Amino acid sequence: MKYPNGSRRVSASGSNPRRQQLVNKYSNRGMTLEDDINSTNQFYLESDKAIIHKKPTPVQIVNVNYPKRSAAVITEAYFKQSSTTDYNGLYRNKYVDFEAKETKNKTSFPLANIHDHQVRHMEAVVKHGGVCFLIIRFAVHEETFFFPAEKLFPYWNGQLTGGKKSIPYEIINEEGYLIPFQYQARIDYLRIIDELYF
C-alpha cells in the first residue's frame, strides 16, 4: 500500500497493519490488573450483578497550597492507618473482599507482596462468613488466578515458622482457579464465586 507521500507501508509480519494494531492491543490484555478489575467491577455495576468497589486509602491531609481556587495542590499528607484489602462489596447477599496482586515472577508468588495486617483482615472476613480471596496475575504467563483466602492462610502461617516465603506457581495453578480473559467482564471472578459458594 502506498501513502500520499509515496512511501510504502510494510508491516514486520507482512500482515495488514490495522489487523496488527488490533493484535498488539489485545495481546497486552489491559494496562494493569487494577485496570482490568476496575473495568470488570464497572460492568458488574452497570449490569446490576454486584456492587464492588476499590477501597480508598485513608489519608490525612496536612497542608494544601491554593495558588487559585481551581488548582489546589496537596503539599503534605500521610497515611492515617494501614490499608486492609483492595476491594470490597456485595454479591448475592454476601460480603465480598479481596486483594489483587500482580507478579513478574515466573515460578512463584512471593508472600512479601502481602502484609500481616491484610492477612489478619482476611481471616476476620472468613470467620464472619464473607467471601475472601486473592486475584493473582502472573504477568509472564499472562494468567490470572482466583486464590481463596482459606488456601493462603497455611502458606502464610508456614512462612512465619520457617517455611517457604512464596507459593509455587504450580500450587496456585492446582489449588487456585484460572480466570480466562474476556471482553466485557475482563476478570470474571463472580463466575468462580458462583461455583464455590452458591
Q: How far does Cα 166 stand from its chain's mean position?
A: 18
pLDDT tens-digit readout, 142-187: 999 999 999 999 999 999 899 999 999 999 999 999 999 988 899 9
Q: Considering the domain boundaries, does residue 68 fall inside one? A: no
136 falls within a domain: yes
Q: Is residue 133 part of a domain?
A: yes
Residue 36 assigned as binding residue: no
Asked if residue 97 belongs to a known ligand binding site, the reply is: no
Secondary structure (DSSP) of 153-170: HHHHHHHHTT--SEEEHH
Whether 8 shows a pLDDT value over 50: the answer reads no
Confidence of residue 15 (pLDDT cuts 50, 70, 90): very low
The predicted structure's pLDDT at residue 82:
67
Which among 101, 102, 99, 95 is positioned nearest to 84, based on CA atoms?
99
* Residue 29 domain flag: no
| Residue 7 placed within a domain | no
- Is 151 part of a structural domain of the chain? yes
The residue ranges of DSSP E strands in 66-190, in sequence order, are: 73-79, 87-91, 94-103, 108-110, 131-138, 143-148, 166-168, 177-178
Q: Which residue has the cell 460480603?
A: 95
Residue 81 pLDDT class (50, 70, 90 cuts): low
Query: Which pLDDT band, with edges at 50, 70 and 90, does 44 fall under?
Result: very high
Beta strands in the chain (DSSP E): 51-54, 59-65, 73-79, 87-91, 94-103, 108-110, 131-138, 143-148, 166-168, 177-178
Asked if 198 contacts 92 with a C-beta cutoff of 8 angstroms, the reply is: yes
- pLDDT category at 131 given cuts 50, 70, 90 is very high
| pLDDT value for 184 | 86
> pTM to 2 decimals?
0.76
Q: In which band, very low, low, confident or very high, does the pLDDT at 24 lie, cut at 50, 70 and 90?
A: very low
Q: Could you tell me if residue 93 is inside a domain? A: yes
Question: What pLDDT, on the 0 to 100 scale, is given for residue 58?
Answer: 66
Helices H, strands E: what count in the chain? Answer: 6, 10
The boundaries of the domain holding residue 92 are 36-56+83-197
Q: What is the CATH number of the domain that holds 46?
A: 3.40.1350.10
pLDDT band for position 61 (cuts 50, 70, 90):
confident
Q: In this structure, is residue 108 part of a structural domain?
A: yes
Distance of CA 117 to the CA centre of its chain: 19
Say how many domains are in the chain.
1
